[in-house]
Amino acid sequence: MHMDAAGEVLLERRGCAGVITLNRPKFLNALNLNMIRHIYPQLKNWEQDPETFLIIIKGAGGKAFCSGGDIRVISEAGRANQKIAQDFFREEYRLNNAIGSCQKPYVALIHGITMGGGVGVSVHGQFRVATEKSLFAMPETAIGLFPDVGGGYFLPRLQGKLGYFLALTGFRLKGRDVYAAGIATHFVDSEKLGMLEEDLIALKSPSKENIADVLEAYHTKSKIDQDKSFILEEHMDKINSCFSANTVEQIIENLQQDGSSFALEQLKVINKMSPTSLKITLRQLMEGSSKTLQEVLIMEYRLSQACMGGHDFHEGVRAVLIDKDQSPKWKPANLKEVTEEDLNSYFKSLASNDLKL
């Protein structure tokens, strides 16, 4: 086993598996550049190692798998114009891509809070195991960002327009709903998670099918909320019709016209978000729906760098994470002031500074 100097991530070979433990429980295992720089080369090594048959990633402390990227630090660096804001996103997205293309079965135990960057180090892997304590969200539009880490790839591929809804509103899914939405591939009662891990590690030279069988067995035996229907089931028709518009303005009009309490609730939420973020996000998902994961990450890297140079991300981090007054002053302050020209500039190629995968 080895860990980085600060002990923020633990990397160990156990039985047939390489195990990654995100180890910043006091910070809800938020991902920083140091952690990414340790995980990436180890993942690549295990992928090549004939003795490693699967990779497991989990969070320490029981409260969070990973609450996201350590964005406060990134905002401070971005404002000070330090290179870390470029490096963080570049290396984080490279890790997301390495997980998405990993040749070994990759099992993410997404127990507890799993948001933003935490979704990026789990959802692109082959297996994602949720528990009744899982809490999923892509809350970036509330901080002047967009659902990155490959959100432009996985969100538009969820059922109907569910991904568009989750991306624009930051709606939180809990427990079995994380599985019902298609974010997780399996659901296991949390008290059985330790046993599941031990059973996976004890497998002898397992194939992908052997690993899937173990996960399936635990999934089938899980009891919690077994008969509960998906929380958004009754609203899916509304979500599909309201969120199928090509502009944020039209989505808002659809919600207004729908007039149901659910639609009006979502309207209230969307109206608090960064207008620039909303427009970027809708276009990101529409474009991402027909791109590969690699193409999406290249697009998202362009967006990340434009956001670092803009106003809303730093203002969102201030309002939500630093001063905690929860009242960001967005610029532009409304949707109609975010022009097509503004939007195009966010998606522009960075030429030699583009992300290389």
Active site residues: 69, 117, 140, 148
Q: Give start and end residues of each alpha helix (H) in the chain.
A: 33-48, 71-79, 84-100, 117-120, 151-154, 162-169, 176-180, 193-201, 208-221, 236-242, 248-258, 261-270, 275-288, 293-309, 312-317, 340-346
Q: The tokens 């404002």 sit on which residue?
A: 79
Query: Could you tell me if 274 and 144 are in contact, meaning their C-beta atoms sit under 8 angstroms apart?
Result: yes
Q: What is the CA radius of gyration of the chain?
A: 20
Q: Given the DSSP bridges, would you call strands 135-137 and 113-115 parallel, antiparallel or unpaired?
A: parallel
Report the Cα 182 to chain-centroid distance in Å: 13
Q: What is the dihedral of CA 40, 41, 47, 52, to 10 degrees?
A: -110
Query: CB-side exposure of 122: number of CA atoms within 13 Å?
Result: 35
The encoded tokens of residue 71 equal 């964005």
Q: Positive or negative CA dihedral for 26, 113, 147, 215? A: positive
Q: Positive or negative CA dihedral for 315, 341, 281, 232? A: positive
How many Cβ atoms are within 10 Å of 217's Cβ, its own excluded?
A: 13
Instruction: Report the first-to-last Cα separation within the chain, whole angstroms.
Output: 28
Assess whether the previous peptide bond of 156 is cis (omega < 30° from 0): no
Whole-number Cα distances in Å, 165 to 138, 196, 269:
10, 33, 11
Ordered DSSP codes for 219-268: HHH--TTTTPPPTTGGGHHHHHHHTT-SSHHHHHHHHHHH--HHHHHHHH
